[in-house]
Amino acid sequence: MATLKFDEQPDVFIGVKLPITNGGQGYFNSSLTTLDQVKSNLKNLILTIKGERLMHPDFGTNINAMLFEPDDGTLKDRMAESIIQAVNKWLPYIVVKNIEVNEEADELNIHLPHQHVYSIICDFALKQDPTIFDSITLTVSNN
């Protein structure tokens, strides 16, 4: 896989990894590669509720609100569309290649009635170099 020039510099940190924790070099754990930071930024964007971020009320997605709506057969598509719209606005340096939204099976019968758990798999690439790509997997629920 290709790398960006500044990703090859071991002393250059790209950003702060989420969740914020103490790091070995500096106060916070930091990303050493652009791809690691993009993954952190994407996770942060998807899991942030619109209206939660001060001074940026449109930052985030509507996924949290959708988890409490009845599924009329379009819920997974609407969740994916919310992610795509947010990425296009807030992370214009990446391209979403594919989004899979799957409802998790309740194999152990531990979910309560009306509890919804979804896994989201988002495949993405950097616009600057489409040969640099990765994927994140998140689990969201309404509990």
3-state secondary structure of 47: helix
The percent of residues above 90 in pLDDT, for the chain, comes to 51
- Low-confidence spans in the chain with pLDDT less than 50: none
Model confidence over 96-129: pLDDT tens digits?
Answer: 999 999 988 655 555 566 678 899 999 999 998 8
What's the confidence (pLDDT) of residue 30? 78
What's the confidence (pLDDT) of residue 2? 59
What's the confidence (pLDDT) of residue 111? 54
pTM, entire model: 0.82
What's the confidence (pLDDT) of residue 29? 78
Distance of CA 99 to the CA centre of its chain: 11
- How far apart, in whole angstroms, are the C-alpha atoms of residue 54 and residue 113? 34
